[in-house]
Amino acid sequence: MTKYIINGGKRLNGEVTISGAKNAAVAIIPAALLADGPCRIENVPKIIDVTLQLEILRELGVRIRLLNSTTVEISGEAVGGSKVPYELMRKIRASYYLIGALLGKYHHAEVAMPGGCNFGGIRPIDQHLKGFRALGATIETREGGYIVADAPDGLKGGHVYFDVVSVGATMNIMLAAVLADGQTVIENAAKEPHIVDLANFLNSMGADVKGAGTDIIKIRGVPKLHGGTYSIIPDQIEAGTFMAAVAATGGQVLIKNVIPKHLECITAKLTEMGVEIDEFDDALLVRRMGDLVKTNVKTMPYPGFPTDMQPQLTTALCLAKGTSIITEGVWDNRYRYTEELTRMGANIHVDGKIAVVEGVEELKAAPVRAYDLRAGAAMVIAGLAARGVTQVEQVTNIERGYENLVEKFQAIGADMYRAEIPEGDTSLPEAK
Ligand code: EPU
């Protein structure tokens, strides 16, 4: 079993460089299927979810070359057909983008219901399916949880109004619509930076997508897309995670390769909490020397405060003076990790979508679990801030979405390492 061993209680200092955005990469990789020529994608993060997404394309017979550690070339047809194996689909939530990409290019997709992070109970895709139907596809659910989407005569542009703001449904309908016949209008679209990144990628291949980043996206279908070279934007949530870590531990870190505009929703909250943040063109200097103070926050679709930063911010708020109120406005159940923080001495009461955090003087080390990706990032932050040696289990959940997290934290002064510990060994490893 792999664990992170963290000897906490030290301030972070130095510089860290942010990788490409996970939630853009996992959509842009399947989007490359839509092109007739090779797509060279740069700034691809080295994370498990990207590896899985590339594996799915390989299974479909797509040719993939890794040109260097962060550049991948995706070319060729999906000669292996349009059926995605269940075993791969269930490992990654973002495999649902294969439906839009395959339906758009081949007018047929057979995919199992997606898997992914285990927070939030049910994660429906009804809005995705509603959108495909609006473009003329028929959708059938077959035995074994397979969804079969068909449009034998090709997709036709249509009008899609989403009942909820959904990142995945917005991107999936964009994928399906770029090669459809006529214009598609998406209303109540999500506005996250990765929506704009996907639109920019598609447009760089010859698509006609307008309005990405607003709540109405208009897509005029084109007969074909060509290949090209595209660089993925930096990861907003990875940057935010380091910002929250500095807030929790204190210290000063220059966070490089970021788009400060994408981080304003996070910067605003941390500033209220007493963190000093200087903005440069593509970097942020984050400093916390004095006490942290409480704040209230509600997660919302972009440009609101991101739900994917809720566990990390809550962890920092555990150490703030005063009582903070956190409202989860996107997912039904994203507080499971608070049980772990409570075991570290945090004072948190959860009632439905609301968590009330009473700040404490310090957190104490404990063995904790990374229940999901962002919960795992929160455990690392808690371990870095806590006195003593914290062990974080189930770190695969973290490595699904963070590139070299341990090495990046080590480089800014964290005393932590990755340890292989035999099953059943409960002795506490020493800090190195
Ligand atoms: N929803 C529906 N029906 C749908 C789709 C969504 O009711 O068909 C609801 C969900 O239940 C949820 C809300 O709409 O309450 C928002 O869900 P959304 O579709 O936006 O989420 P997602 O696309 O499945 C992506 C990210 C998540 C992130 C959310 C919200 C990817 C691969 N995942 O998920 O990221 O939390 O958007 O911003 O892009 C993460 O990176 O840790 C992560 C979980």
Q: What is the pLDDT of residues 273-302, one digit of tens each?
A: 999 999 999 999 999 999 999 999 999 999
Span from the CA of 416 to the centroid of ligand 1 (angstroms): 31
Q: Looking at 32-41, 122-131, 238-247, which range is the least confident one?
A: 122-131
Active-site annotation, residues = 117
Q: Are residues 75 and 15 in the same domain?
A: no
Q: Which of 231, 254, 273 is the last residue of a domain?
A: 231
Task: Centre a 10 Å sphere on the Cβ of residue 304 and count the other Cβ atoms it contains.
Answer: 15
Instruction: Read off the pTM.
Output: 0.96
Q: Are residues 131 and 178 in the same domain?
A: yes
Q: Are residues 260 and 219 in the same domain?
A: no
Q: In whole angstroms, what is the distance from residue 354 CA to residue 10 CA?
A: 30
Q: Are residues 244 and 206 in the same domain?
A: no
The residues, any chain, with a CB within 8 Å of residue 354's CB and separated by 6 or more, are 325, 326, 327, 328
Q: Are residues 211 and 155 in the same domain?
A: yes
Q: Are residues 374 and 406 in the same domain?
A: yes
Task: Calculate the average pLDDT of the chain.
Answer: 94
Q: Ligand 1: which of 26, 49, 96, 123 to mutate, most ligand atoms within 8 Å of CB?
A: 123
Q: Are residues 203 and 271 in the same domain?
A: no
Q: Which of 205, 231, 257 is the last residue of a domain?
A: 231
Task: Say which CATH number the domain at 254 has.
Answer: 3.65.10.10
Residue 252 falls inside a structural domain: yes
Q: Are residues 84 and 225 in the same domain?
A: yes
Q: Ligand 1: which of 164, 194, 236, 332 to mutate, most ligand atoms within 8 Å of CB?
A: 164
CB 45, CB 233: distance < 8 Å: no
Q: Are residues 186 and 327 in the same domain?
A: no
CB 326, CB 355: distance < 8 Å: yes
Q: In whole angstroms, what is the distance from residue 304 CA to residue 327 CA?
A: 12
pLDDT given for residue 78 in this prediction: 73
Radius of gyration of the chain (CA): 22
The residues, any chain, with a CB within 8 Å of residue 425's CB and separated by 6 or more, are none
pLDDT given for residue 124 in this prediction: 87
Span from the CA of 258 to the centroid of ligand 1 (angstroms): 23
Q: Report which protein residue has its CA nearest ligand 1's atom 36.
A: 308
Q: Ligand 1: which of 330, 337, 372 to mutate, most ligand atoms within 8 Å of CB?
A: 330
Q: Which of 211, 231, 251 is the last residue of a domain?
A: 231
Number of domains the chain contains: 2
Full domain range(s) for residue 106: 22-231
pLDDT given for residue 116 in this prediction: 54
The residues, any chain, with a CB within 8 Å of residue 210's CB and separated by 6 or more, are 217, 218, 219, 220
Q: What is the pLDDT of residues 65-93, one digit of tens each?
A: 999 999 999 987 777 777 887 888 878 88
Residue 429 falls inside a structural domain: no
Q: Report which protein residue has its CA nearest ligand 1's atom 22.
A: 168
Q: Is it the case that residue 427 has pLDDT exceeding 80?
A: no
Q: Are residues 81 and 70 in the same domain?
A: yes
Beta strand 251-256 pairing with 12-17: parallel
Q: Report which protein residue has its CA nearest ligand 1's atom 7.
A: 124
Residue 307 falls inside a structural domain: yes
- The fraction of the chain above a pLDDT of 70, given in percent, is 96
Please state whether the peptide bond connecting residue 301 to the residue before it is cis, i.e. omega within 30 degrees of 0. no
Q: Chain-centre distance of CA 345, in angstroms?
A: 28
Residue 121 falls inside a structural domain: yes
- The fraction of the chain above a pLDDT of 90, given in percent, is 86
Binning pLDDT at 50, 70 and 90, where does residue 406 land? very high
Q: Which of 223, 237, 82, 234 is nearest to 154 (CA)?
A: 223
The residues, any chain, with a CB within 8 Å of residue 152's CB and separated by 6 or more, are 107, 108
Query: 396 to each of 176, 189, 219, 343, 400, how far by Cα in Å?
Result: 31, 32, 37, 22, 6
pLDDT given for residue 215 in this prediction: 97
Task: Centre a 10 Å sphere on the Cβ of residue 181 and count the other Cβ atoms it contains.
Answer: 13
Amino acid at 95: S
Q: What is the pLDDT of residues 28-57, one digit of tens each?
A: 999 999 999 999 999 999 999 999 999 999
Residue 427 falls inside a structural domain: no
Q: Are residues 219 and 241 in the same domain?
A: no
Beta strand 159-161 pairing with 138-142: unpaired
Q: Is it the case that residue 260 has pLDDT exceeding 80?
A: yes
> Counting atoms of ligand 1 from 1, which one is nearest the CA of 26?
32
Q: Are residues 186 and 312 in the same domain?
A: no
Residue 426 falls inside a structural domain: no
Residue 432 falls inside a structural domain: no
Residues within a 6 A CB radius of ligand 1? 23, 26, 93-94, 117, 123-128, 164, 166-169, 190, 307-308, 330-331, 373-374, 401
Residue 428 falls inside a structural domain: no
